[in-house]
Amino acid sequence: MPIVVVGLSHHSSPVTFRERFAFAEAALPPAVAKLRENGVAEEAVILSTCNRVEIYAFTRRAAREAVESIQRFLADFHECRESLGGHLYGLTEPQSLEHLFKVASGLDSMVLGETEILGQLKKAYDVALQHKHTGGRLNKAFQKAFNVAKQIRTETNIQRGTASVGSVAVELAEKIFSALENRAVMVLGAGDTSEKTARALLSRGARSILVSNRSHERAVALAQQLGGRAIHFEAWAEEFERIDIVISSTAAPHYILDRAKLAPLMKLRRNRPLLLIDIAVPRDIEPEVNFLDNVYLYNIDDLQAIADDCVRQRQQEIARCEEIIREKARALLEGLAHFALPTQKPPAELQA
């Protein structure tokens, strides 16, 4: 009578495949109900995010039979008639519990140690709990997973440092300006990464956002989303006197800002510090601007190198985290071995 996990993630499948198996939030309760009605699982939780779709189930069937049945359920529910090949994975105890703990702790995430997945996992569990699709086995497993995630978060350095372009940009900005309150940001180009970077700066207190793009309509749309102001692409240099941080990500085939153009603009700014974040490929900003006083230029490779270094620091903590997870999974299994059937009444609320 094991707890099993069946699913697919960014480790096993590209996004073009994962999106076919995603569950809309409203579809989760009826999907779990159908899974239980078919006799495949006694209890079940479905986790569906952009990076993974996983079914956690307690079953009275043999482990291999249960895994194969849930795999067929996933294929049938999403009307997939082609071979799933190596896209789907199936785990049984103790690996299934260890996997759950790793997911909750951010150890299985695309960005090692990230915390968003814990909230998503809690929400998935809460949906199943409120619809009475969980019982004593999964309740104990998920409560333990949340506790393990908290322990790993507080006792290890797995979440220390930055790991994304946006968070690296924030860290650099705070080193240059001490604090981001009242700092003005300009976004050149309206790409996804520049938007996320701008949002990260705003979340730390940046005062205002100016958006400039060759398509003014797109600049207006992004400015509205960010609570900022759009300016015409031909006029962005006129705003430099009031700007502290520039995020550049245009599709220009040549530099749009070089040393000759920036030098007189810095004089207008009275040489106040200027942070330039060039995330364009090919680059938007000439590297020689770094020779100007109080100019700090970072391109996408610089930012990625900083992020990678932080990831390497986190990876050194993996062995320690996995040791905690194995110990907690073993303890949980020993407790479940003495757990009487039928399963107990679900707890009234989630625990942190």
For residue 51, which of 89, 17, 18 has the smallest C-alpha distance? 18
Question: What is d(CA 166, CA 107) in angstroms, rounded to the nearest whole number?
Answer: 21
Enumerate residues 6+ apart whose C-beta is below 8 A from 26: none
Task: Compute the distance between CA of residue 74 and CA of residue 55 in angstroms, rounded to an integer.
Answer: 9
Query: Of 219, 6, 237, which is closest to residue 99 (Cα–Cα)?
Result: 6
Per DSSP (E only), the strands in 52-97 are: 52-58, 89-91
Contact by Cβ (8 Å): 3, 93: yes
Q: What is the DSSP letter of 340?
A: P
Distance CA 36, CA 349 (A): 22
50 is catalytic: yes
Q: Which of 50, 80, 310, 321 is catalytic?
A: 50
> Could you tell me what percentage of the chain is helix, strand and coil, using 3-state DSSP and rounding each to the nearest 5?
50, 15, 35
Catalytic residue numbers?
A: 50
